[in-house]
A and B are shown apart, each in its own frame.
Chain A
Amino acid sequence: DVKVTQSSRYLVKRTGEKVFLECVQDMDHENMFWYRQDPGLGLRLIYFSYDVKMKEKGDIPEGYSVSREKKERFSLILESASTNQTSMYLCASSFPDRATEQYFGPGTRLTVT
């Protein structure tokens, strides 16, 4: 059974703080993704990675960066958190030829005050 885990379920940070969201998968998936999920806006792709050390911008990368030093781990970084980054963040992974068949983590509810 595929397991995608995220470091925190709930996180509260202050404006201007640097925030790290960690995601780990145990299925040797090449592809990993970060989304934010907001009511009425659905899932919006922030960044994705199809290989170690590779990253590509999604639809809303502004204010975020990512790191993928190891195949199983994909980190999302908020360099200077702002209140409009309060959201649910979802990590997902998939095999390379099945990018849309994704396995999701439980999500991190981030609140920036």
Chain B
Amino acid sequence: AQRVTQPEKLLSVFKGAPVELKCNYSYSGSPELFWYVQYSRQRLQLLLRHISRESIKGFTADLNKGETSFHLKKPFAQEEDSAMYYCALRGRRPTFGRGTSLIVHP
């Protein structure tokens, strides 16, 4: 069965510090992974997809098949990055992790 694990419920950092939100997955085939973000009082939206190898709002994520991970990183956190982040794994039934709440303090 496919599974997504986000080990941290809450991540608290100061502005300008690096941030890494962890995501580990379990999947027997070739995985496709995504990060979603939900800012306060806004709808959940797609942040980035691993196949695009893109950087959105300074965030990047690299798929590491050896470690079965897809961690989301940003070198310098901003206050506006404070949000709920979900990692998701493609499948016939998409699987979401439980989410990590990122708080960036001024």
Residues on A facing B (Cβ under 8 Å): 4, 33, 35, 40-43, 45, 48, 56, 58, 90, 92, 99-107
Contacts and interface: CB of A to CB of B under 8 A. Distances in A.
Interface of B: 6, 9, 32, 34, 43-46, 49, 86, 88-94, 96-99
Nearest to A94: B94
A101 B96 contact: no
Contacts of A107: 43
Contacts of A102: 46, 94
B34 A40 contact: no
B91 to A, nearest CB: 7
A42 B48 CA distance: 18
Contacts of A90: 44
B45 A58 contact: no
